[in-house]
Structure 1
Amino acid sequence: MRFVIIGAGRVGLRTARVLRDEGHEVTLVERDEPRVQRARNEAFTVVEGDGSREHFLEEAGIAEADALGALTGDLNVNFTACMIAKHYGCRTVMRIDEAYREEIYRKYADEVDEVIYPERLGAIGAKNALLGGTIRAIADIEQHLQVVELTITDAAPVNGYTISELELPADSRVLAFGKHDGELELPGEDESLEVGDRVVVLADFEVLSDIRQLLVGESASQAVANAGSGSGGVN
């Protein structure tokens, strides 16, 4: 596939490396000369210029590209680049860097194919590392919703239950289930919950602590602290 990446900073260049390593064709657009040189030193094709200007995007091959990633630290540049790319039929991914607010996401989410917040994605990884092996945050869906993967422990109250017997809080649902030695699949009602099994749940932050108590067996105080007590995001 062919990709145009706007911005050769930390996020843009790392993304370009991953795409190239997977065999894709990548062209970067960057206006900062030292960043341009650094990317060229890594043998990337770089168009030196403003990614929000159509003629620079045309020079980068936007007409033939499958997707554009607008990954600079400038929201206006990113949004403009995505709107131009949409005109050429590209999939568009836009980075936002401001303090995460739901209204920012909602403002742009309908205009581009995907909005990403790199600092938030990095925070999810950091939180997973801190929490250890039984609980793993997968994604923030909205400001108040999160997808989490939890591993059943011998202390879990639901240990030995079947999926049909599992009663989660109202603002949550099971998305997938996997035995400790198997892959995640759609949950079957007769599947039994045993130590080491994994359950993927979509839940409101307000009920995450309750879910952790059920599936992992944390105490109420531990569950509240680890779930962020409905703090609205990954800490």
Structure 2
Amino acid sequence: MRVAIAGAGNVGRSIAQELIDNGHQVTLIERNASMIREERVPGARWIRADACEVASLEEADLARFDVVVAATGDDKVNLVVSLLAKTEFSVPRVVARVNRAENEWLFTEQWGVDVAVSKPRVMAALVEEAVTVGDLVRLMTFRQGEANLVEITLPTDAPHVGHAVHTVPLPRDCALVAIVRGKRVLTPGPDDPLEPGDELVFVCTADVEDDVRAVILGADSVERTRRGE
């Protein structure tokens, strides 16, 4: 897979190295000459250019890439890069970094963003996930507003504890994709039983999250959540 990353700061370089380690072809685009340090990510192709300029992106042959990652520390830049990548170069997948929580609402398909990764939201979700048992925690949004990655840690009194996965009546537009049990990550099989303390990871649309919560934790959990308990 060919991936172009706009921004060669700590975040951009870390993403680049991880993708290279996984066998992908990575190009880093950076306008600041002092940030061009090829020895930091030796497996990447480096281009000194302004990713907000169409001419620079044409020179980088952006249309050849499968994914563009807008990873700078400036939300305005990330939005412009995303819009150009999608509208001018028809890049199939655009991932954008959100630096400030108040700007998150802008990172939508209208700006060319397929996936917005908000550092404040991710950190808040990880905090919630670490301490919350018996409620639904949203970890990540795929394609803004359409599908979410959510997690529920099963309390001992959950309705389906001890029941097989296939007996759990999940709503439409919802899939159980993983069970984290202690140090193990399990791919759910239909006959696998649910155990107290299991972290259930779902992909579902936002409009069925309450239904998922009700099925897994009981109908009264939805009402408690609405009351802020």
TM range (shorter): 0.5 to 0.7
SS in structure 2 at match of 1:8:
coil
Equivalent residue for 2:96, pick from 85, 94, 97:
94
Alpha-carbon contact 1:3-1:24 (below 8 Å) kept = yes
- How far residue 7 of structure 1 moved from its aligned partner, in angstroms, is 0.6
SS in structure 2 at match of 1:27:
strand
Is the aligned partner of 1:229 residue 2:228?
yes
Where do residues 128-143 of structure 1 align in structure 2 (5 Å cutoff)?
128-131=129-132, 137-140=138-141
Q: Out of 62-71 and 113-122, give the one that drifted further.
A: 113-122
Change in 2 beyond 3 A, CA 1:118/1:178? closer
**Separation in 2 of the partners of 1:193 and 1:173?**
21
Q: Give a deviation string over 1:32-88, Cα, whole Å, max 9, x none.
A: 233223x54432432223111123223333142222111112233223323332333
Where do residues 183-202 of structure 1 align in structure 2 (5 Å cutoff)?
183-184=187-188, 193-195=194-196, 199-200=200-201, 202=204
Give the structure-2-normalised TM-score.
Answer: 0.66
Q: Give 5+ residue unaligned stretches, structure 1.
A: 231-235
Change in 2 beyond 3 A, CA 1:109/1:116? farther
SS in structure 1 at match of 2:36:
helix
How many residues are treated as equivalent by the alignment? 215
Alpha-carbon contact 1:4-1:60 (below 8 Å) kept = no
- How far residue 122 of structure 1 moved from its aligned partner, in angstroms, is 3.4
Q: Could you say what the CA RMSD is over the residues aligned between the two structures, in angstroms? A: 4.4
**Separation in 2 of the partners of 1:134 and 1:79?**
33
Alpha-carbon contact 1:146-1:205 (below 8 Å) kept = no
Q: Give a deviation string over 1:94-126, Cα, whole Å, max 9, x none.
A: 2232324664244x4563333322332233234
- Indicate the residue corresponding to 1:42 in structure 2: 41
Give the structure-1-normalised TM-score.
Answer: 0.65
Q: Give a deviation string over 1:174-229, Cα, whole Å, max 9, x none.
A: 532767685135xx6x9865546664454679959x659937xxx98xx86xx993
Where do residues 103-122 of structure 1 align in structure 2 (5 Å cutoff)?
103-106=105-108, 108-109=109-110, 111-122=112-123
Q: Out of 19-28 and 61-70, give the one that drifted further.
A: 61-70
Is the aligned partner of 1:149 residue 2:137?
no
Aligned-residue sequence identity (percent) comes to 28
